[in-house]
A and B are shown apart, each in its own frame.
Chain A
């Protein structure tokens, strides 16, 4: 089962290596990982999507909490979070196909980020499942390259994962 875990850490060198190393040596599977600074420059957030049973998830949370640089660990439940990935997709595109591809892009609430004689690059942010669908729609045109970030997620409503909360 997939779990989305929001982890607040001290923002200094080596922290990511510690977190990634912990997953590797304890045999936890990471599906995706995204890191960025928070509103406090001393704190970074690592969002991890991990695969495993409830027992594994409990161990992941507990072992993460043991790392001295980890300030907070919170697993977000699928129904109470908004999750996003960003994807950049470059597809082959003859001038004739442009309007067709642009309409698919519009449908997915994407943006055209770059265009050339025989290619178009689009950017879309959505949840992982919708991005997969979008990718399938574009595949017939010939995908030249896909760049995808890890998932980031935030809780719905007023709840927040912060150092203070």
Chain B
């Protein structure tokens, strides 16, 4: 037991949770905590808009697998975080969000910079606390980190009134935590495991759909083993990209609205579907036509996801790495399987269209990402934004030992640069590339300053087509080509923007210059901005 202020105790809680760095933006109501951060050795990364503190924490957490922390002040500061909280919630990213709140005796009186943040964020958090009793500090932090980082991971918010931060308490961080109403399951039900094994062995055309849960649940390696042992083809959701190396002969690409032919063929012809940490959102499951003979084995940590989008014959709730371990154990004595005929069928559906030449003065983004692949180190992290750039990247990036991050569920524009900042902080030795369009870039542009101020060497690729391309495409296809509010006329010269921040940059308008640009981007050990001129009316699927 030690006597200290709550603000100091908050830094002690963070240290006890192994937090060495956080992302934030200060304000009056969170100043007592900032004063203690000043005295601590926790590194604070100052973003240029609160939402990006959330996205940066998200990128950081997705690389470490542990809850990352972001901070903002009361009222507008906290409210600005909501989009990032919702983005993290949709993609099951573990995060602890700390917000300042007005003094506890002023809550509910509409005072300056007051907002009911626990109420406002309620639909998008796994849980939240209004810390109104100083003596609860240690317990609340312990619980928040435990809840955020276990089960189906997600954001947990702690709102701390300014006077509470200043209050003195006897502090001791609890070693264990017990919440009677929260006991996430870990092991899969033994009976269902046996049924799953039987179905897998009986299957003539089995198929694995690899979801994002394989990353949050650390199960990618075991999934590869299962796939190889039983010779099961693998396709991926957007969130599961990279769980299977993209060059594996058992890998048949990404499923979904913007997915590839082979993946669609696989999902529509398989007889046994093994869903691993994939919730199958509407954008993913739309190509799936369910027939009565199809056996669905659904493995997920969240019971609410099983049966939500696709009815499951074999439901298994549990931690994906533990469940995969259980399955592999059952398969120990089984001979490796072969599905040559099934794979042949799928191989025939593989379509590889060469990038088409584009008009002079522009670069084909498909060609560009494929060219970029040649230079990217093995352990690289590609962070795609939202829109056409997202699928140019997702569909063409090679992932062997690297990661692909994007805002999958929420589709939040302006995610890539701040998330890349977070990812780079988590893995300073990895090459971290943010790919965005000129629409999304203008939402996150101020974060270039964060890169410069904190020496974070993120590489930014701006696919510039002077349009909100995916919406433009939507208007072309579904609204009689009445293009409205999608032109980005009036946008700045992005290389000059980079110049203004003192960031190395280059504009590329041909394959020749793009090759040089990629080389310069990769060889730089500082932040770098590469503007790629892509044809204005180019499509998502190339």
Q: Does A associate with B in a complex?
A: yes
In Å, the complex CA distance between A138 and B186 comes to 57
Which chain B residues in 71-130 approach chain A with CB under 8 Å?
A: 118-119, 122-123, 126-127, 130
Q: Which residues of A contact B122 (CB under 8 A)?
A: 17-18, 21
Please pick, from A14, A25, A55, A68, the residue contacting B118 in the complex, using a CB distance under 8 A.
Answer: A14
Binds A, one of B169-177, B302-310, B497-505: B302-310
Tell me whether A10 and B304 are in contact (CB under 8 A).
no
Cβ–Cβ contact B126 & A68, under 8 A: yes
Q: Please pick, from A17, A25, A55, A70, the residue contacting B181 in the complex, using a CB distance under 8 A.
A: A70
Q: Which residues of B lie under 8 Å from residue A163 when comparing CB positions?
A: 180
**Which B residue sits closest to A63, measured CB to CB?**
B304
| B484 contacts partner chain A, Cβ-Cβ < 8 Å | no
- Minimum C-beta distance from B305 to chain A (A): 9
Closest Cβ–Cβ distance, residue B141 to chain A (whole Å):
15
Please tell me if B191 contacts chain A, counting CB pairs below 8 Å: no
Instruction: Judge whether A25 and B123 touch: CB under 8 Å.
Output: yes
Is B182 an interface position by the 8 A CB rule? yes
Cβ of A17 and Cβ of B126 under 8 Å apart?
A: no
Is A58 positioned at the interface, with any CB of B under 8 Å from its CB? yes
Closest Cβ neighbor of B119 among chain A residues: A17
* Chain B, range 146-176, C-beta contacts under 8 Å to A: 147, 152
B179 at the interface (CB under 8 A from A): yes
Interface residues in A73-119 by Cβ distance below 8 A to B read: none
Using an 8 Å CB-CB cutoff, how does the interface string of A1-32 with B read, 1 for contact, 0 for none? Answer: 00000000110001001100100010000000
Distance, CA A163 to CA B181, complexed state (A): 9
* Complex interface: chain B residues within 8 A of A156 (CB): none
B123 touches A68 (CB 8 A): no
Q: How far is the CA of A163 from the CA of B127 in the complex (A)?
A: 21
Residue A65, interface by CB 8 Å: yes
- Report the bound CA distance from A70 to B302 in whole Å: 15
- The answer to whether A59 touches B304 (Cβ under 8 A) is yes
In contact, A68 and B303 (Cβ under 8 angstroms):
no
Judge if A62 is at the interface, Cβ distance under 8 Å: yes
Residue-wise, chain B 292-308 has the 8 Å CB interface mask toward A (1 for contact) of 00000000001110011
| Nearest opposing residue in chain B for A72, CB measure | B181
With A14-B118, A18-B122 as contacts: A68 and B181 at CB distance below 8 Å: yes
- Chain B residues lying within 8 Å of A65, measured Cβ to Cβ, are 303-304
Is A69 on the interface with B (CB-CB < 8 A)?
yes
For the complex, give the distance between the alpha carbons of A62 and B123 in Å.
16
A62 near B181: Cβ-Cβ < 8 Å: no
Give the residues in chain A near B302, CB-CB below 8 Å: 66
* Chain B residues within 8 Å of A35, by CB: none
Inter-chain CA distance A47–B303, complex, in Å, is 22
Residues of B within 8 A of A161 (CB): none
Instruction: Tell me the smallest distance from the CB of B142 to a CB of chain A, in Å.
Output: 14
Please name the residue on chain A nearest to B156 by beta carbon: A68
Q: Is the CB of A66 within 8 A of B304?
A: yes
Using Cβ atoms and an 8 Å threshold, which residues of chain B touch A55? 307
A68 touches B304 (CB 8 A): no
Q: How far is the CA of A68 from the CA of B127 in the complex (A)?
A: 7
Please tell me which one of the listed residues A18, A59, A69 contacts residue B308 in the complex, with CB atoms under 8 A apart.
A59
Provide 6 A-B residue pairs closer than 8 Å at the C-beta atoms, listed in order of the A residue.
A14-B130, A17-B122, A55-B307, A62-B304, A63-B304, A66-B304
